[in-house]
Amino acid sequence: MTSTAQEARASRNGARRTIFYTKKLPDGKEGEEKKYARTHQYLGEWKDNMWEGKGTLEKADGSRYVGEWKAGKRDGVGTLWHRHADGSLRKVYSGLWVDDMQQGRGTLNYKSGDVYIGDWVRGQRAGSGICTYADGGVYEGEWLDDKRHGFGVYDYKNGDHFEGHWMADLKEGKGVHFYYDKEKKAHTKRYDGEWVDDTPRCGAYTEMPPDPLAPLSMLPDPLPPNELVDANGVLSKRLSEVRAERAQLRAKRIALEERFTEEELEALQLAFRRVDVEDAGVITYKQLPSAFEHVGMAPTSEELAAVLSQLGKAAEPATELHFEHFAQAADMLSPVEE
């Protein structure tokens, strides 16, 4: 048999039986037979000696992936399982993968009991999604870099309800908090105002109108009267001061729909895709000027460095940027007045 024929027979392509991978254990006593331990096993399809197509990989620690592969990496639709000490399997993630990372739509079940259903970018929560927390709270809204970031709604276990803006997992910017009265079984009061680092900084606390479906909410429980002279003027001035103080920091906030029209967002997305030719979901700082050229912008290197600094990114050629970063940079370079 020729070497070419031998190589062809040894090459793994198409469907195969289970392939076991082992490692040699440390040498024992002299004369004993050499021992090996199984590290992982794969059953599925191959292409050019790499896992490609549909297949199942099980590792020595009991973790198991069942789904699609490309060039030896998880790519496509697939489910990851972890094994408990008692031998049972726990579903960890089910959804889309690209280049061995969660990318696209998927569901992750955290060990803590939290469950996230939504968008992923390079293994992190980014885009829109819903997270149900083990303590009973539920967040639905925007995410970036694995954190609540942008506009979102949070329902508390005690019945309270919040609608507003978030930044890096904390409430930041405009928001409304509705307070639930357990005895009256209704939201009876609300706070409208500005939030800073998860804390209400300045706003108005008012009563909610009675709820016809909650009879006890008809009973009066009024707030004390406001005796401040020119209350609206004082509130307006203080709100302006808080927004000015936090303006630079809040430039990182997603809230893209508030900053751009639908046509502008489409133009930004098209420009990003033209540069992201491999559809990886990221571009580099080196590619940033090219992306801006596609929307008719030509920021200087100094302007780009200043903007990235505010976004917490280094102005280095290999720095990776998601679409949200690109759009936020565009917003900061051509801000829209509130």
Residue 148, pLDDT > 60, answer yes
- Give residue 136's Cα distance to chain centre: 20
Mean pLDDT over 147-176 rounds to 94
Per-residue pLDDT, 3: 47
Per-residue pLDDT, 8: 52
Residue 139, pLDDT > 50, answer yes
One domain for residues 235 and 280: no
Per-residue pLDDT, 337: 42
Residue 136, pLDDT > 50, answer yes
Mean pLDDT over 279-306 rounds to 92
One domain for residues 81 and 195: yes
> How many Cβ atoms are within 10 Å of 175's Cβ, its own excluded?
21
Mean pLDDT over 121-142 rounds to 95
Residue 19, pLDDT > 90, answer no
For residues 121 and 123, give the distance between their C-alpha atoms in angstroms, rounded to a whole number: 6
Amino acid, single-letter form, for residue 268: L
One domain for residues 70 and 95: yes
Residue 52, pLDDT > 70, answer yes
DSSP state of 334: S
Within a domain: residue 111? yes
Who wins on pLDDT, 202 or 56? 56
Per-residue pLDDT, 257: 59
Minimum mean pLDDT range among 183-197, 248-262, 268-282, 309-323: 248-262
Q: In this structure, what CATH number is given to the domain that contains residue 323? A: 1.10.238.10
Per-residue pLDDT, 336: 41
Q: Please answer whether residues 52 and 76 qualify as being in contact, where contact means their C-beta atoms are separated by less than 8 angstroms.
A: no
One domain for residues 187 and 215: yes
Per-residue pLDDT, 217: 80
How distant, in Å, are the alpha carbons of 40, 61, 154, 194, 241 from that of 26? 18, 20, 54, 63, 68
- Give residue 42's Cα distance to chain centre: 30
In this prediction, what percent of the chain has a pLDDT beyond 70?
89
One domain for residues 90 and 138: yes
Question: pLDDT band at 212, cuts 50/70/90?
Answer: confident
Among 215, 250, 285, give the residue marking a domain's end: 250
Chain segment 225-274, per-residue pLDDT in tens: 776 677 778 778 877 887 777 766 666 555 565 567 788 889 999 999 99
Residue 135, pLDDT > 50, answer yes
Domain count, the chain: 2
Mean pLDDT over 181-203 rounds to 92
Kindly report the length of the chain.
338
One domain for residues 230 and 285: no
Within a domain: residue 338? no
Among 250, 278, 295, give the residue marking a domain's end: 250
In the three-class reduction of DSSP (H, G, I as helix; E, B as strand; rest coil), residue 122 is classed as coil
Minimum mean pLDDT range among 68-77, 125-134, 183-192, 307-316: 307-316
Within a domain: residue 278? yes
Per-residue pLDDT, 28: 66
Mean pLDDT over 37-53 rounds to 92
Within a domain: residue 113? yes
One domain for residues 228 and 265: no
Mean pLDDT over 96-122 rounds to 96
How distant, in Å, are the alpha carbons of 32, 258, 259 from that of 262? 72, 10, 10
Residue 292, pLDDT > 80, answer yes
Within a domain: residue 255? no
Q: Which residue stretches of the chain are H helix?
A: 3-10, 231-250, 256-259, 262-275, 288-293, 301-310, 323-333
Among 216, 250, 284, give the residue marking a domain's end: 250
Per-residue pLDDT, 253: 58
Backbone dihedral region for residue 66 (phi beyond 0: left; psi -120 to 50: alpha; all else: beta) = beta
Within a domain: residue 221? yes
Range of the domain at 275: 260-333
